[in-house]
Amino acid sequence: MHRGGGGARWGDEHGGVMNLKAFFVASLQTALDLSIATPEDILKHVTPDVLATYLPRPLWARLFTACLGAPKVDAQLVVETIGVPNLCEHVPAQLIWACIADIGNRSLGKQVDEEPLVLAPKSLTPPPPPGSSRSKPLTAPPPDVIEKPALVTPSKLGPNIPAPSTMPAGTGTSSLADIVAELEAEGSRDERSITPPSRVRTPTQQRFRQSQTGGGGIGRLAQNNPRRPQAGIPSVTPARTARRGETEVEAGEGEPETSVGRGEDWRSSIAVEEEQLVEWQASEETLTTTDDLETRKR
Amino acid sequence: MMESGLENQIFQPGDVLAHATPDVLANHLPPDLLSRVLQASLAAGSMTPERVLETVTPELLARHLPHEVLWACIAAAAARAGVTNTVVS
C-alpha cells in the first residue's frame, strides 16, 4: 500500500488539499489487484442496503442489466460493474475505511471484526452547530402591530376653520323658542308672501367632506362613519304652513267680520268720485241695440 | 392483471422484464426492494427474471412501476396471442 511519491510533503507539493477519495480508490484497487482483498471484503460493509441507499439509480440500472445478463451473480460482478471509483465516490467514507481497515488488519494478522459497520440512518435535517445553543424559530417573527389611526373628529376641520356650531349664525345664544317667536311675528306681518325663511343658513357642516383614505370604507359606506344620509330639505317648510294654519284657525273660530252683517249702508262707505265713472253709454262700440241681439240669436 | 397474466401464462417473467427494464426498475423501485433483489441474487448466485419477480411481486410492480409500462406488457401479450391487432412495443 505504499506508493512511490507519497509522504507527508506530497500533499503540500500538490496544492495541500487532502484527496481522501483518491486515496481510497487507489488503496482498494491496489488491494484487489494484488489479491490482498477480495470483492467480498468490500461487500461486507458495502451491503446491498448501503448500495440501495447511496448508489445512484443509473448505476443500479447498470447493475441490474449486468446481473440479468450474467450467468453468475457474485460480489465480483457487483464490484466490477459498479467500479471502485464509483463506490468510493458515493459510499460514505467510514464504510470504505472500514473495508480498508479490515484488509490491513487481516494482512497484519490482527483480529478482524466480523460484523459489518452500520451507519446511522441519514438524517434530512443536519444537527445544529455546536455554537448555536439557542434555538431560533423556523417561522419569521410576527410583524409589528399596525395600530389603526383614530378617527378624526369633525370638530377640528382645519386650523382656521372654526368648529361647527349648532347655533344659527348671528343669533348669538338665541334658543329655538326665540326663533319660533320671531318667525311667527314675521308671518303675522306678511302672511301671503312666500318668502324663504328668515333663518340664516347655518354653516353646520362642511359641504364637501374631506376624502378619507383611512380604513373602514369609503365615504358613507365607512363602517365608522357616524353620519347618516340626509334627505334634502323641502323649499316650503312645514313650519310656515303651521303658522298659516294657526291663523286660519283663529279666523275660523268666528264668522269673518263683514260690514254686510252689520246692516250698514256699504254703498256709502265706498267713496267714488264721478270722474272715475266711465261714460260707457256714449261709446258706440259698446252700444247694443235690440236688433243686434235678435240677429245674434238667429 | 399482472398476477393473473403470470398465473395463466399469458406472459412470462421475461416478458415482464422486457418492459420493466433494469432502468425502469432502478428508477422506480424503492431502495429496500433494490437491496432485496440484489441480496436474493447474490444469495442464489444469479439474477433471473423469475427470481426478480419472486422478490418484486406483481403487487409491488403495480404499486411502484408506472402503469403504462405494465399495460404495455399486457397489451404486448395480447398482441402475441392474437387477441388484438394492435402491436405494442
- pLDDT, tens digit, 9 for 90 and up, residues A200-239: 555 555 555 555 554 444 545 555 555 555 655 555 555 4
- Chain A residues whose CB is inside 8 A of the B31 CB are 49, 52-53
* Mean pLDDT along residues A9-37: 78
- DSSP annotation string for A203-235: --S-SSPPP--STT-SGGG-TT------PPPPS
Closest chain A residue to B51, measured at CA: A68
Q: Which three cell numbers stand for residue A235?
A: 323649499
Mean pLDDT along residues A281-289: 51
Between CA A290 and CA A281 the distance in angstroms is: 15
- pLDDT digit string, tens, across residues A39-49: 999 999 999 99
Contacts of A60 in chain B (CB under 8 A): 22, 25-26, 34
- The total of other beta-carbon atoms located within 10 Å of residue A185's CB is 10
User: ipTM score here?
Assistant: 0.82
A64–B32: do the CB atoms touch at under 8 Å? no
* Counts of helices then strands in chain B (DSSP H, E): 7, 0
For residues A60 and B28, the answer to whether their CB atoms sit within 8 Å is no
Interface of B with A (CB under 8 A): 17, 21-23, 25-27, 31-32, 34-39, 41-42, 44-49, 52
Chain A residues whose CB is inside 8 A of the B45 CB are 72-74
Task: Verify whether the Cβ–Cβ distance B42 to A74 is below 8 Å.
Answer: yes
pLDDT digits (tens, 9 = 90+) for B33-84: 999 999 999 999 999 999 999 999 999 999 999 999 999 998 898 888 787 7
Q: Which residues of A touch B15 (CB under 8 A)?
A: none
User: What's the predicted TM-score (pTM) here?
Assistant: 0.48
Query: pLDDT tens digit string along A77-121?
Result: 999 999 999 999 999 999 998 999 999 888 888 877 777 777 766
